[in-house]
Copies of this chain bind each other. A is one copy, B any other.
């Protein structure tokens, strides 16, 4: 329980700090792009893939036409779609491949990442920077690992980024609800019954 509590505190502290670093022009641009898109596609691998699916589920509840790349009924991307790619490191090959194809087609791309200069971020029309001790940080910088020191085992690899991304995207959903004037009843009516 002691380590559980310590890890909890670290995660919450990270969320507090992150929430203050959000840049309103990034967030507002992202929300406007979501509202303007004909269809939204989301992509992510591993735990980032799970977070982006949780976001997609809420977009569906809101009545937005949304698809998860890699699922059964996902159609071909078109130029008037909007792609949301989530990757802490900005290097994940699955997300990068998707973004490259989107770029070629002319689809607008939002990238949510800790690395605004990563390969993925360079393909973006919209970037949301979320702090996170990502896998790369820990791998690439010895100094960083010295500094984060005792964190190392408590929120391993992408944990901080992934949790921050889920909380951020759920907060974006709040904005969408207000801007679309949705009532919770309407969301619930679209919620899968099976």
Chain A contacts to B: CB under 8 angstroms: 1-9, 11-12, 15-16, 19, 22, 24, 27-28, 31, 43, 46-47, 50-51, 53-54, 56-61, 66-77, 93-94, 97-98, 101, 105, 135, 138-139, 152-157, 159, 162-163, 166-168, 170-175, 177-179, 182-184, 187-194
Q: Are B3 and A175 in contact (CB under 8 A)?
A: yes
Contacts of A70 in B (CB 8 A): 70, 194
Interface class of chain A by DSSP? helix
Q: Are B171 and A76 in contact (CB under 8 A)?
A: no
Q: Are A24 and B43 in contact (CB under 8 A)?
A: no
User: Given the interface contacts A156-B58, A157-B187, does A168 sit within 8 Å of B50 by beta carbon?
Assistant: no
- Could you tell me the distance in whole angstroms from the C-beta of A169 to the nearest C-beta in chain B? 10
Partner of A4, one of B46, B68, B69, B172: B172
Q: Are A54 and B1 in contact (CB under 8 A)?
A: no
A28–B177 Cα distance when bound, in Å, is 39
A138–B188 Cα distance when bound, in Å, is 10
A50–B51 Cα distance when bound, in Å, is 8
User: Given the interface contacts A60-B75, A73-B71, A184-B138, does A1 sit within 8 Å of B175 by beta carbon?
Assistant: yes
Q: Are A171 and B5 in contact (CB under 8 A)?
A: yes
Closest-by-CB residue of B relative to A18 is B8
Ordered by A's residue number, 15 sampled pairs between the chains whose C-beta atoms are within 8 Å are A3-B177, A7-B170, A8-B22, A8-B171, A11-B167, A47-B57, A71-B71, A76-B192, A77-B192, A101-B193, A153-B184, A156-B177, A163-B166, A163-B170, A166-B166
